[in-house]
Structure 1
Amino acid sequence: MLVRELLTRDVVHVRDTSALDAAVRVLAEQRVSALPVVDATGRVVGILSEADVLRLHLSADPRAHLRPVADAPAEPWPATVLEVMSPDPVVAHEGSDVAEVARVLADTGWKSLPVVDGQHALVGMISRSDVIRELSTRDADIWLRVVRELAQLDRPRWTVSVARGVVTVSGVRGGRDARLAAAVAATVPGVRDVVVQGTDEPEGVDPAEQSMKDSDPAD
């Protein structure tokens, strides 16, 4: 799967010069964990996450402490998003492999990544929930989509089965056809892995044509 097949395009974002208070309200009202930050040209320059906001100074509540809390110098609350955001974020592109993005999200603990175009302009976001949603696709739905894709290749002897998201394509002859079957099946959203089971027939030889040749008395 490619990122373009899963990403959410209509996403809320903020400017680097936006007021921080307004951006925090957007985080709360939209119930998102992070907002992409863009500059005046629309290029992604940062991420404002819940963690970025939580790192700001909050006054201690004396009711939660047995001893009086020492007065600490008040730290001014930042005025703009630029002062708090995480700059130069990791981004994905529409043609990125979802498998690679999923590994990044898992290894870092991030919940989402901005998706940008060739000019680094914001295109959308891809999140862990987007990937999980596709991985939860029913086997029957995956089977139907794989069969439709493979039907365009005109290989009537190929058969497809799906178990827990793993697609098995059987009756495939030769290395070239095996690679083709695997590549096409892997593009279907929800597919976790592809197994290609070949035959002993040589690549590029149609069994019906070979049978006719074997029975031809002139040979």
Structure 2
Amino acid sequence: MRAKDIMSSPVHTVAQTAPVEAAAELVTVKKVTALPVVDAAGRLVGMVSESDLLWHRVPADPSAHMLPLPNTDPAGRPGLVAEVMSAYPVTTRPEADVAEVAELMLEHDVRSIPVLDDGALVGIVSRRDILRVMVRSDDVLTAEVQHRLDEYAGGPRWTAVVEGGIARVTGEFRDDTEQGIVAVLARTVPGVAAVDVAAAEPRRTG
């Protein structure tokens, strides 16, 4: 499964010159955890997350503190997205393996990664996107693999069973090429971790 298979597109973006309040409103309305930040030409220049938008924006409650609070000047708070965004964001490409994308998220401790195609922003993948397609029951996966195989063959030629995320396909194949195609079809179902394709035992006569 590739990033292009699960990414969200088109992408909700925010300009680097936009007010922090505008970005916070967009994050809330669109129910996302982060936004790609673009320049005037639409090029990706950063990412701004919920935590970035909270920076120096939540006033302290004096009644919750024993000691006097230091004086803070509201005028000194960051006002533009460019002041709070993370520059040089981690990115991926449409053809990237989702496993690779998940590893990047964990390695860099980010919740979403923009997808670039030849420098153009074409999508975004979040942890929620990955979890949505990976956490699926074996029964659901079995039905989807079987449907794809039946659709390709024009009828029921092979039998698919998914257990523990591993799809096992049995039946008769014309040749190794057809067996390989069946394996690829089963592997493209989101949530299938591996595929085992086996030809049916030849029938004994006499």
TM-score normalized by the length of structure 2: 0.79
1:170, CA displacement in angstroms? Answer: 3.4
Q: Is the aligned partner of 1:4 residue 2:16?
A: no
Deviates more, 1:7-16 or 1:172-181: 172-181
Question: Which string of whole-angstrom CA distances, capped at 9 and with x for unpartnered residues, describes residues 41-87 of structure 1?
Answer: 22211101112123336543321111222335666122321121111
Given that 1:170 and 1:198 are in contact with CA atoms closer than 8 Å, whether structure 2 keeps it comes out as yes
What is the CA-CA distance between 1:183 and the residue it aligns to?
2.9
SS in 1 for 2:48: strand
Pick closer, same or farther for the CA change 1:30–1:148 going to 2, 3 Å.
closer
> How far does the alpha carbon of each residue in 1:166-218 deviate from its partner, in whole angstroms, 9 at most, with x for none?
21123588976665543332111221332344678xxxxxx68xx99xxxxxx
The residue that corresponds to 1:26 in the other structure is: 26
1:1-219 alignment, distance < 5 Å: 1-56=1-56, 58-71=58-71, 76-118=76-118, 120-151=119-150, 152=152, 158-170=158-170, 180-197=181-198
Residues 58/142 of structure 1: CA separation in 2 closer, same or farther (3 Å cut): closer
Distance 1:71 1:17, change over 3 A: closer
Indicate the SS of the match to 1:28.
helix
Equivalent position SS for 1:190: coil
Query: Gaps (5+ residues) in structure 2?
Result: none
CA distance in 2, matches of 1:144, 1:60: 54
SS of equivalent residue, structure 2 residue 37: strand
* 8 Å CA contact 1:38, 1:122 repeated in 2: no
Counterpart residue type for residue 183 of structure 1: V
Name the count of aligned residue pairs: 203
CA contact (8 A) 1:38 1:46 kept: yes
Deviation of the 1:39 alpha carbon: 1.5
The unaligned stretches of length 5 or more in structure 1 are 201-206, 213-219
Q: Percent identity?
A: 37
Q: Report SS of the residue matched to 1:53.
A: helix
Q: What is the Cα-based RMSD across aligned positions, in Å? A: 3.2
* Residue 17 to residue 67, structure 1, CA distance change in 2 (3 Å): closer
| Change beyond 3 A, Cα 1:124–1:57 | same
Which protein is bigger by CA-based radius of gyration? Answer: 1
CA distance in 1, matches of 2:39, 2:105: 25
